[in-house]
Structure 1
């Protein structure tokens, strides 16, 4: 007899004739994802901290102008006089800080803040790669699940029809018919659930890109499994110490806090400025009875020394020292968290390779088991329920294998992100694993 039951359930990954691949979706996300666009704006704002800090060390130049009216009554022994006149004054002043501990600390803070913004932007870029990849493969996994359910439903339908025919001629029991009908009804319900789940995942991708996902390139049936390189977990952890963007950003946060301590302590120290000015005054009158026009040039040093400010400066120093300790502890916490993430991601890749290999072998074994069960059913030594059970196990294995393949690819990206070495080239490498057809 024909083995159509077995042949009907074999699943083949479909390849879209046209549609976006992973890189296409990532590029769309770069132009529309609000989180990434906000990160870019935050970077533009953050890098301005450097010139703002530098400005405190550079000279300032100010121009002032005023016009005033005077009404003076002067009384002398010989009588009194009233004078009405106006005065125009113009002045320009240059101030060059020569020594200010607070300004120097603010400049160092500005440099650290700008560097921190660069690290935060790189961290956001890596996060976008991960989110785009996760959303993309979530859609593919949901599509695979739906395809598997549809294939299983079709296979059960054929088994149900066969059970009914065999029952009609006395070659099957009513149990076979009822079991096949129950399995078919369950598969129909699962198809509805899988279709809804696919729409949910498409919506997540739509939120990321701002566009309809369309037809996505599917993962090729041949997947080359690669262990992490280098194959040493500790080396990955060591790499993360100097490459991870979160650690780098937190280091700059510690530097900002350290300079805040210096700035607070600078409140006890004197400041010294070079001041140069030129002023012009044109008075339309005076108590002398005639107009006065004058030009004054000045240059000198201005020294200021705070003596007592109610204990506010000392309190600020204590506060900033405590904030420095907070930043230092957060840096240590970040290092530990990153090391943990690296180890978990490394193990996820290793286990992912082993799991995919094991499920590949399980798929082959289940296919053989199904073929044997079908033969036994044809010979009357196995029941229709046995065939349905074998079919179910095969589809479950294929579904687990599909998810394991996607999890393996995502874990590779997460490992590099945890180590701080994730680049767009890594995304291109994953994208080459997707199956494509020429549009022509």
Structure 2
């Protein structure tokens, strides 16, 4: 009785109550929600996206006037001697203050600044897709962590049951040895198998501890009782249909498409840099001498134009370099499209392997169960040896272990198919989370607001809510 209570306590501590469906049982969706809400990797890449948004604001600022000020106060001192002062050495002191305001506005630059804005926007769109890819990575890690804990929990339960069964077989072998029905060899075999079973139980408990730590790192908390998923996610009916979705929607493909577009714009920017630029300039200045009360005030307004004549071939080299980068981006896009299609095919293959393994292991478990029960009954009648019983029990244990792994692998493979298609996202799965909106911050900074403006003050509140200011 005491031993039974001890086993129940160990089972509870390890979370073996996951099979009971209760209100407190954690679901796979709960694990993904926890990972989405606590992922430092997502926070990092959201900050990267906000930094890319600021590139648009900086590019917009280049179309606006640039106004600078400067001021200085100067004290000049020394001595002088001249015939006018009868060659006497007299001190000289002069105190002046000057202030300047200068302004500059690009009037015409063959579209270079606007092209810079368009390039920055393409970079923002590409970075958003990179963030979607990171989100998929985080959610897939949550699925794997959840299922690995389940695998470990079931293996621990299986190994504990194995220890109990072999303990019973050892007890029966010793009783039969005492009455002379079996030899010492039978009890020794049972003792060896029991030691092996306890070693395997310790290893399974170690794997459970590792899986729990991985769950903590991904989800942000230790797992409690876990509820087995009721069904696999919805997937396309064929590999070709899934590949078609992946080529259209996978974030890595979309990110590279924006990168190619940015490369095309960079060629135009490099060509525009070879053409003249027209700027409107203005300057106001004032200088005052405190010693003589003299001052000068004035200003200038003008239009200046300029452009390169010869820079040693640097500008044409930049054009050729931009073309080469464009070609490299196109080649990378084709490569990634092929890789994404291959990943979809591989993911489907892994899913089919897991499903076939699960069906086979189900049949293996049924057959091994019948065989074990029959061998144990025959052993009770003296027709089988203890070794036969232990071997039959080991085959049943192996079959059940294979089934556990096949079932876990099936769920992981199914979600890997979703990830390979680009649909393993919080919105795609319908997770009840406060989804990060990449557009809201962009809308606040895209017009390059100044600090004291209404939009700038709203941006300050957003930054404070993010804990970044």
1:184 corresponds in structure 2 to 194
Q: Equivalent residue of 1:268, what SS?
A: coil
Which consecutive residues of structure 1, in runs of 5 or more, have no partner in the other structure? Answer: 1-10, 430-440
Deviation at 1:336, TM superposition (A): 1.4
Aligned partner of 2:118 among 108, 112, 118:
108
Pick one of 294, 297, 301 that aligns with 1:294. Answer: 297
Matches within 5 A, 1:234-249: 234-249=240-255
1:86-129 C-alpha deviation (Å, 9 max, x unpaired)? 35343242413422444233222210111122111111111110
Equivalent residues of 1:146, 1:191 under 8 A apart: yes
Q: 2:327 aligns with which of 325, 328, 343?
A: 325
| Corresponding position of 2:32 | 26
Task: Give the superposition deviation at 1:237.
Answer: 0.7
Does the CA contact (< 8 Å) of 2:97 and 2:289 recur in 1? Answer: yes
2:155 corresponds to which residue?
A: 145
Aligned partner (choices 109, 114, 117) of residue 127 of structure 2: 117
1:98–1:274 contact (8 Å) kept in structure 2: no
Runs of 4+ in 1 over 6 A off after TM superposition: 69-73
Q: For 1:204 and 1:106, how far apart are their aligned partners in 2?
A: 44
Q: Distance in 1 between matches of 2:315 and 2:151?
A: 60
2:308 paired residue number: 306
Residue 68 of structure 1, CA deviation: 5.1
Work out whether residues 261 and 320 of structure 1, in 8 Å CA contact, stay in contact via their aligned partners in 2: yes
Say which SS state the counterpart of residue 370 (structure 1) adopts: helix
1:306 partner SS: coil
Change (3 A) 1:224 1:210: closer
What residue number does 1:156 align with? Answer: 166
Q: 1:46 to 1:12 in 2, by over 3 A?
A: closer
| Equivalent position of 2:224 in the other structure | 215
What's the CA shift string for 1:252-305, capped at 9, x where partnerless? 222333333333333322212233x2514344499xx9835434352x432111
* Aligned equivalents of 1:295, 1:268: Cα separation in 2: 35
Unaligned 5+ runs, structure 2: 1-15, 86-91, 432-469
- Report the alpha carbon displacement of residue 186 of structure 1 after superposing the two structures with TM: 0.8
Q: Could you say which residue in structure 1 is the equivalent of 2:19?
A: 14
The equivalent of 1:279 in structure 2 is 284
In 2, Cα distance between the equivalents of 1:16 and 1:37? 34
3-state SS, counterpart of residue 231 of structure 1? coil
Q: Distance in 2 between matches of 1:83 and 1:146?
A: 93
SS in 2 for 1:402: helix
8 Å Cα contact 1:23/1:428 also seen in 2: no
Of 142, 145, 149 in structure 2, the residue corresponding to residue 135 of structure 1 is 145
Partner of residue 409, structure 2: 407
Partner of 2:69 in structure 1?
A: 63
Judged with a 3 Å threshold, the aligned counterparts in structure 2 of structure 1 residues 19 and 234 are, in CA distance, closer, same or farther, namely closer
Tell me how far apart the structure 1 counterparts of residues 427 and 411 of structure 2 sit (CA, whole Å): 14
Decide whether the 8 Å contact of 1:59 with 1:96 is kept in 2: yes
- What per-residue deviation string (whole Å, max 9, x for no partner) do you get for residues 161-203 of structure 1? 1111112223234433222222111111111111111111212
1:390 matched to 2:396? The reply is no
TM-score normalised to structure 1 length = 0.82
Task: Give the superposition deviation at 1:307.
Answer: 0.7
Structure 1 partner of 2:423: 421
Q: Distance in 2 between matches of 1:426 and 1:408?
A: 20
SS of equivalent to 1:88: strand
Whole-angstrom distance in 1 between the partners of 2:367 and 2:373: 10
Contact 2:119 2:265 (C-alpha < 8 Å) held by counterparts: yes
Task: Check whether the contact 2:104–2:279 (CA below 8 A) recurs between aligned residues.
Answer: no
Contact 2:73 2:95 in 1 (8 A): no
| Contact 2:376 2:389 (8 Å CA) reproduced | yes
Q: Is the 8 A contact 1:99 1:271 kept in 2?
A: yes
Deviates more, 1:46-55 or 1:167-176: 167-176
| 3-state SS of 1:48 partner | helix
Asked if the contact 2:71–2:97 (Cα under 8 Å) also holds between the matched residues in 1, the reply is no
Match of 2:41 among 14, 28, 35: 35
Using the alignment, how far apart are the partners of 2:428 and 2:294 within structure 1?
A: 80
Which of 172, 178, 183 lines up with 1:168 in the alignment?
A: 178
SS in 2 for 1:62: strand
- May I ask how many residue pairs the two structures share in their alignment? 411
What is aligned with 1:435?
A: none
Work out which of the residue numbers 268, 271, 282 in structure 1 matches 2:274. Answer: 268
Distance of 1:426 and 1:404 partners within structure 2: 26
